Chain A
Amino acid sequence: MQTILRPFAIKSSGDLARLGVMLALAGLILFGALRYDNFLSSFNILSFLRYNSMFALIALGMAFVIITGGIDLSVGGTAAMASVVAALFSPYHWAAGLLGGMVAGLAVGALNGFIITKMRIQPFIATLATMLAAYGTGLLLADNQSVSVSYDTGFTVIGQDDFLGFPIPAWIALAAYVLGWLVLEKLPVGRHILAIGDGEATAGLMGLKVERTLAAVYLASGTLAGLAGVILASQFGAGQPTEGVGWELFAIASVVVGGTLLTGGSGSVGATLAGALLLAMVFNILNFENGLGWISLSAYWQSVIRGAFLLVVVVLQAKLMARR
């Protein structure tokens, strides 16, 4: 009994924040289900999952980066570039598109890792620069316009089709999250990532390989952004070099709302998913609310509401930290 309960035991303020986001998500779903007729319709659920899987993938990578105490602003640009690369490779084979996009993301991640660990430039500046570079490369490759994907090789299946009744992007995101959970919770390297975020110098003194681990985390974030780019290209039938603006901020907001401390050293994969879903659901609910016709909140409210969410969470975090 005790061991079953153990995962749910609240041991820290971070746990409390994570419990909070889960409850908020549940509350929002309940609210939607009671208020709107088609909220729990399979159409709404499936399109919700299909569209938001990309953001969930990026948020996962961001969570790992933020846990180390860093930040990755390049994910939006990386996704845009990867979508172009994937589209360009898609005529050869669907797998070529998939791999091409992922390798493009991996390359940006490797560059981030190099600039941060070898040139010792703050993650914030390093990834800001690679964000520009990624957008630039994507635009160059795409010749400043969207690049249509091939419909003959089955590349579009990745983003548009279902498997066992669920959208394939949702399966991909689910797999990534399970893998991420496994790494963070069950593999030693996950504990090392957390410890590095708690204090790099201390982690080094405790015998951890700080540089290598950090580089790996940025590599993973880049690769996940690449994967999101692949889904983007596949879902919308085109590589989109100008898409992805502000994705990094959506991801950061998801991670923070998910109770991960921006100062690093704490965080959870599950709560990050909940955070991403929560923010996405705000938009979904806005759509439904407008559909009811009582109010007419434009889509623009979503960024205001997201910003407000971020504000509340960040201020709460700061208060919790101060009390410590």
Chain B
Amino acid sequence: MLLSMQGISKAFAGVAALKAASLEVEPAEVMALVGQNGAGKSTLIKILTGVYRRDEGTIAFDGRDVDFTMPAEAQAAGIATIYQEINLAPQRSVAENIYLSREPKRFGLIDHAAMRRGAEAVLKTFNLTIDVDRPVAHFDAATRQMVAIARAVTQNARLVIMDEPTSSLDEREVAVLFETIRTLKRSGVAVIFIGHRLDELYEICDRVTIMRDGQTVAKSPMADMPKMALVRHMLGKELAAFQAMAPGEEKPERPVRLDVANAGAGVRVRDVSLTVREGEISGLAGLLGSGRTETARLIFGADNLERGTMRLAGSERTYREPADAIADGIGLVSEDRKIDGIVPDMSIRENMTLALLPRLKKAGIVDRARQDEIVTRYIRALGVKCASPDQPIKELSGGNQQKVLLARWLATDPRVLIVDEPTRGIDIGAKSEILKLLRSLADEGLSVLMISSEFEELLAAADRVTVLSDGTSVKTLPRKDLSEAALLAAMAHQVE
């Protein structure tokens, strides 16, 4: 066995991220490492590569116990990591990137000729003939990845970790990458392949390790693990637990408010069609990387639509900026509160009224009385727990931050509200509160588009669910057909 990680535990500030997780890799095999967001995959990898220190557990690499304290040590031992955002110096040449920090020298000077020859030779083993003097930025993502792999190979790596290597590649590029992985295998190098696209996993991986909630929940040869079972392991749902749930009642069909047809942009969103009717919660489901968040950003004008059309209450709309969408009565509670949501140093009051400011203005001055009235109303209505509205939002818990962000949009009295993982990182109590709130808002006529990875959430709240797979909407399930099994099947991209 090349790598054996056993009983790995790790906690951050008292919160367990890994609970006795394990991972084993044989030489010359491709191991798939899969799991939902927060399952602990990257923590496990970071412990292996010395970015984090483990609290408990043992790691044996190549038959010896190891304990790397920094990434350079893991690299020296023969473990190379190819990150999603490929870690190369983009303006340096291909040859330089392959040899950076280990340049071949002659009389103390860089031996450019030897470097060039070496780079060409190692790339040739991957059937790649390129001008190694050009900056890596000039090449497409797949080639850059190959350069990163070539760098790993010249460092005598025995294990190459690839973190979502295909996420920004098109089909042709994926094929080239897989050929490279096969070449690595032939020369005895093992690969840990972190990915979400099921077809790809089945194409290239020999075995799979599935993680959930910080634990390793399944290990199996790829061939023995049906797609449905894999998705079920990842999501942690026992079908039985949900079968008790009766299929929801069908509501009378109401007019379509938001209609997205064949939308696409870049490689992340290929062909998405969905509708949200008045007064309903429309769910948007799909595995990680299926293009859900990107779809939301397109609808909201945060990114620009390249293909397809969008209609709001029947009339076609194009938004260049979020401000256009907001003016049309669309709101977006984004997935990543920290990056796209809160302004950390500003108070709850200010955060809550940011989108509303233009409407709170009297001769340019914020109408403080109305602001206070709105803020007080929503703090009470949503049950935001805070010392005062003047408290900086960064001091609140995740659930309360989320309520403030919801209030930010509710205060604008929107017609369509997009919520991206509205209950991510929120405790159970707050979760059900937020779902109830969305339900009652929909009952009052609001159209909600809810992106969620959690089946309970979708089953409990959604009137219909559109399932995305690989940037394409593969199925829309009406309430009456909504079930765990149906969702699983659609996500695994199998026709029932």
Contact = CB atoms under 8 A, between A and B. Distances in A.
Interface stretch (A25-33, A186-194, A228-236): A186-194
Chain B residues touching A, majority SS = loop
B108 A12 contact: no
Given A11-B135, A202-B87, A188 B75 contact: no
A265 B109 contact: no
Interface residues of B, number: 25
Contacts, number: 68
B108 A191 contact: no
A289 interface: no
A248 to B, nearest CB: 25
Contacts of A11: 93, 131, 133-135, 138
B100 A192 contact: yes
A205 B101 contact: no
B91 A205 contact: no
Nearest to A12: B135
A207 interface: yes
Contact of A198 (B91, B101, B105, B109): B91
Contacts of B213: none
Given A192-B101, A206-B100, A206-B101, A265 B108 contact: no
Given A14-B91, A265-B91, A205 B109 contact: no
Given A187-B109, A188-B110, A195 B87 contact: no
Nearest to A198: B89
B77 to A, nearest CB: 13
B164 interface: no
B396 interface: no
Contacts of B90: 198-199, 265
Contacts of B236: none
A182 B110 CA distance: 10
Interface string A198-216: 1100110111100000000
B87 A205 contact: yes
A105 B165 CA distance: 48
A324 interface: yes
Interface string A75-106: 00000000000000000000000000000000
A203 to B, nearest CB: 7
A64 B12 CA distance: 40
A186 B109 contact: yes
Instruction: List 10 A-B pairs, minimum CB-CB distance, nearest first.
Output: A198-B89, A195-B89, A186-B109, A265-B91, A207-B101, A188-B103, A202-B87, A266-B91, A205-B87, A207-B72
24 contacts: A9-B133, A11-B138, A12-B91, A12-B134, A12-B138, A186-B109, A188-B101, A188-B103, A191-B96, A191-B100, A192-B100, A194-B92, A195-B100, A198-B89, A198-B91, A199-B89, A199-B90, A202-B87, A205-B71, A206-B100, A207-B75, A207-B101, A265-B89, A265-B92
